[in-house]
Amino acid sequence: MTTDATTRIEETVKANDVVLFMKGTKTMPQCGFSSRVAGVLNYMGVDYLDVNVLADDAIRQGIKDYSDWPTIPQLYIKGEFVGGCDIVTEMTLSGELDALFETSGVTYDKDAAEKIREANA
């Protein structure tokens, strides 16, 4: 992994409260897993930075090395790696993601979060 990619990833993760490294963009995801996580964040009204790993091979590989996590998407909140699609989905349904947003001072729509849980109950 190039130091350049690591530096760019670190700066991005530290400069933004919520970052989603994904395939595609928040408005045009290019894989189902990225689409699901972006959909949850979009629906909950979370302000987040989307990083399209398909646009940069160094970042695409670099983020896997950075987190020691083999798959994309990857969600970061306040500089901390949260997880990929399955973990974010589980956290959304259990309410853990809400709690993490609250303790991190990240604004989100509590009603939307409840609707996701109701729809999946």
Residue 36 sits at φ, ψ, to 5 deg, of -65, -45
Strand partners, 50: 20
Using CA atoms, how far apart are residues 13 and 27, in angstroms rounded to an integer? 20
Residue 53 contacts residue 61 (beta carbons within 8 Å) = no
Residue 58 contacts residue 4 (beta carbons within 8 Å) = yes
Annotated binding residue 85: no
Quick one: DSSP state of residue 80?
E
- As a whole number of angstroms, the longest Cα–Cα distance in the chain is 44
Helix (H) / strand (E) containing 2? none
Q: Where is the binding site for [2Fe-2S] cluster, in residues?
A: 31
Q: Where is the binding site, in residues?
A: 31
